[in-house]
Structure 1
């Protein structure tokens, strides 16, 4: 099964996902492609806890993957897509990231650059397909300039889709099969929030409960890419993940690590003192993207709740 992971909340995002799925289906057959929202029948699904049911349906596919194309654009990448990427990567499934974004990122103006706002994304991606230029203008096109501009954008998208599908199928047939990581007994990882300091009490509480603890370091490291690789290795070996998911949406690195921990059946807690609930037709209110909310074992509103959760 090949999985197309993309932002779901606007029509143009869903249309892009459908375009990728169509192209992939011509290569592997429609029955071998899973397109969220479309194949979970989200618009028509009725369930007493619809968000959880959608999570379960998506997770069923994530557990039986041959490969994934993930679509990411801009500095605020989709947290649900990042969670799905982390899930697939932890199971050694090839992940191709497609972007038409022309931006790259760095810690300083003259320092090394990485592809997305969190260097952990390119750590877990097997291939990044970046098509950051408009298609070439057609000198024979006599339409108005807006139609011509739209055609150049569509050509850019078509190129990115074709390259991403080709890369995924190449990886799916060439990557060696490897086993998933075994956890170090009691080891815990704290994923701090890149925008606000994490509560020091989280570290003390984990240590007091007997958990050897590491704090992910890439956001403060001199070499963020090298630190991201170390954070990923530590995450795959940790029995416990405590991720600070504060902010308007879950930071991308936290979402990736939550997905990985969920795939490996590790204990996960999300630190989120305050939340803005999201609402969608027929769905219960969610305090985070449903892929993240239902992957975690607990939402911690204060550091004291961590001790209670560890003891449960």
Structure 2
């Protein structure tokens, strides 16, 4: 039995998750099913499942999936994002940024037992980039295994017991997430940031930090004012991250260095926030790599990043050309 929670018909809880492995999709589906039992299936959106990705036929499938997700992101009640480990999914981080810039409350759920810091003795964070922490309305972390079973089946192995404890940990996390989602504040009215003409925010890659000076110089040479990230050098990284988020939303352009084994999570989040805020976006990637999926065109690692960016640039000459366009 579902309850009338008083949500408008277009109001949706969006479950953001890594799509590319069965166990990730299964975890997200379990959360979506538990949430739907409370609010009704019409108020839950689960990517891949509800876009019918395996059977979707479109002339340019990746672009169509991006359009469907972006349309849904524009009418949310709340978002819950599943994030685990130091290498966060760039598509999920982009969706978080889009939601936050749209005034949508975001719940982050993790069973990761690690915490992170930018320096050896710096403040501890739940996620490797303080932007992720700053974007969250609330964080649910369940970092410990569930308690050992009080009853042992005959001939049960230690592996079966370990599996049971992991399942208990997961159940606790999912139940806490569903309860917390229903207590999140209503979306805030979207406030359009005042765009500063000629100002470009340059987001560096932690994998290619030396490139940031060259990118900033190319922007300055093209006559733009440059804003650089503050969170990496701030005494309070979360405060610095909030300043970075506000700076991106108020810039006229975002130049994000997406170099590395995946789009860095902070860069992905800022790309989503910039897209929701009407900021022009360029992704700098001198050595692009591509992902391939059945029926889909090759994507630059993640289709959400590929189609959110207005330009993909491979060298500083291309940067200068884009800056003068």
TM range (shorter): over 0.9
Shifted more, 149-158 versus 293-302: the winner is 149-158
1:19 shift after superposition: 0.6
Task: Note the alpha carbon deviations across 1:33-58, whole angstroms, 9 max, x for none.
Answer: 11000011111112221111110111
Q: Structure 2-normalised TM-score?
A: 0.92
Distance (Å, rounded) in 2 between the aligned partners of 1:252 and 1:223: 19
How do 1:101-250 residues align onto structure 2 when only pairs under 5 Å count?
101-142=112-153, 143-173=156-186, 177=189, 179-196=191-208, 197-250=210-263
Indicate the SS of the match to 2:197.
Answer: coil
1:99 partnered with 2:113? no
1:77 partnered with 2:67? no
Task: Note the alpha carbon deviations across 1:107-159, whole angstroms, 9 max, x for none.
Answer: 33332111111111000111110000111112113233222221211111111
Distance (Å, rounded) in 2 between the aligned partners of 1:178 and 1:220: 29
C-alpha RMSD of matched pairs (Å): 1.5
Q: Aligned match of 1:269 in 264, 282, 290? A: 282
Question: Unaligned 5+ residue runs, structure 2?
Answer: 1-11
Task: Note the alpha carbon deviations across 1:23-80, whole angstroms, 9 max, x for none.
Answer: 1111211011110000111111122211111101111100111100000000101111
Shifted more, 215-224 versus 250-259: the winner is 215-224
1:300 shift after superposition: 0.6
Distance (Å, rounded) in 2 between the aligned partners of 1:227 and 1:104: 19
Indicate the SS of the match to 1:185.
Answer: strand
1:168 shift after superposition: 1.7
Distance (Å, rounded) in 2 between the aligned partners of 1:157 and 1:282: 33
Q: Which residue in the other structure is 1:33 paired with?
A: 44
Question: Unaligned 5+ residue runs, structure 1?
Answer: none
1:18 partnered with 2:46? no
Indicate the SS of the match to 2:281.
Answer: strand
Q: Aligned match of 2:322 in 306, 309, 312? A: 309
1:220 shift after superposition: 3.7
Shifted more, 104-113 versus 252-261: the winner is 104-113
Distance (Å, rounded) in 2 between the aligned partners of 1:200 and 1:191: 11
Distance (Å, rounded) in 1 between the aligned partners of 2:121 and 2:268: 28
Distance (Å, rounded) in 2 between the aligned partners of 1:32 and 1:141: 40
How do 1:259-298 residues align onto structure 2 when only pairs under 5 Å count?
259-298=272-311
Q: Which residue in the other structure is 2:9 paired with?
A: none
Shifted more, 47-56 versus 107-116: the winner is 107-116
Distance (Å, rounded) in 2 between the aligned partners of 1:275 and 1:200: 20
Count of residue pairs the alignment pairs up? 311
